Structure 1
Amino acid sequence: MKFLAISGSARRASTNTALLRALQAMAGSAHTVLVYDRIAELPVFSPDLELDPPPAVSVLAKAIADADGLIVASPEYIRSIPGGLKNAIDWLVSREEVVGKPIVLAHASHRGDDMLCQLRSVLATLSERFNEELFLRIPLMKLSPEEIAKQVSGRRHQEDMRAFLGAFARYCGSA
């Protein structure tokens, strides 16, 4: 299975991006995980540009079209979805690439439930194949890159990530 893992953070040292990179690293030959960490490169959504979207939007849309499923990981900003991720979703809402695409969430914090609730609602509207039951949460907030690497390389987290990817692959193949 080929998964596109979208980081909702514009931060270079994002813990959510680090979680997605850990998924990418442990996927091995069983799955391909491509991490999209360029939310900050997307221009502000404008319906006037939907018919001829900017190149950055076309790159994201193609990556989504090429994927069997999407994994979204995002921080919470002021108890809400970060503006960059919401902007990316706005660019996708009228496009065909995301229709019927399996989508799941991963989260790199012990908190953020208000944002996750909002994001679940938005993603369930975006695709009828959003699966809120499949969810990976590994608390990494405020850890250094070295501490994150140590955390995600632990046996328990490796097993959790492997199980998550396996369950998502089965879900993607069940259509």
Structure 2
Amino acid sequence: MIEILAISGSLRAASTNSALVSALARNAPPSCRVTVHDRLGRLPIFNPDDEGERTPQEASALIDAVTQADGVIISCPEYAHGVPGGLKNALDWLVSRDAAVAKPAMLVHASPRSLFARAALAEIMRTMSFALCEDVLEIALLGKKPPEVEGILAEPENQLVMRDAVSAFADFIRAR
């Protein structure tokens, strides 16, 4: 069983990125388990003085979840042409750890317009030594209300696209 951790970079209650990672978890192929980490908003702001024995419990939980996962999927919105602070903060907690080193990762997107954040996030993750899968999943959900989002994600063709994307990512993980 391939264990995948999915993280939404958005803290919004009605986030399309969070809806997308939840849908990935529901539509994962039988050989994969996708677990959504939805506690980024509980992380304290990263401070290198708080590492080691002083690492806060929420940061330790994130570090452990990334460490134990076979791979990580991140869905990230774009704020002011960049990566949202909450997601960057979470990545900062991983910087001095081995959790990210050679960890397979895949980016998924709920907006076709998040080009600056995509590039910035890919650069951050490569710098942190994640093994970034070149396959990218995009399902355009930008500007949709929650019922519309759920309807789009429930469409059989989108369910198949999500299942195939997770399956391709699992193949990437196995090949590493």
The interval holding the TM-score normalised by the smaller chain is over 0.9
Q: TM-score, normalised by structure 1?
A: 0.96
How big is the shift at 1:155? 2.3
Task: Name the structure 2 match of 1:170.
Answer: 171
Preserved CA contact (<8 Å) 1:65 1:98: yes
How big is the shift at 1:28? 5.0
Relative distance call for 1:92 and 1:162 in structure 2 (3 A) is same
Distance 1:113 1:77 in 2: 11
Gaps of 5+ in 1: none
Relative distance call for 1:128 and 1:20 in structure 2 (3 A) is closer
How big is the shift at 1:156? 2.0
Output the aligned Cα RMSD.
Answer: 1.1
Task: Name the structure 1 match of 2:78.
Answer: 76
How big is the shift at 1:58? 0.5
Runs (4 or more) in structure 1 with deviation over 4 Å come to none
* Count of residue pairs brought into register by the alignment: 174
Task: Name the structure 2 match of 1:64.
Answer: 66
Percent identical pairs in the alignment equals: 42
Q: For each residue in 1:50-90, what CA deviation from the matched residue of structure 2 results, as whole angstroms up to 9, or x when unmatched?
A: 11210000000111111100000111000100011111111
Distance 2:41 2:150 in 1: 24
Distance 2:169 2:21 in 1: 14
Q: TM-score, normalised by structure 2?
A: 0.95
Q: For each residue in 1:3-32, what CA deviation from the matched residue of structure 2 results, as whole angstroms up to 9, or x when unmatched?
A: 000111111111000000000111153310
Tell me which amino acid in the other structure corresponds to 2:136: F
Task: Name the structure 2 match of 1:106.
Answer: 108
Distance 1:141 1:128 in 2: 27
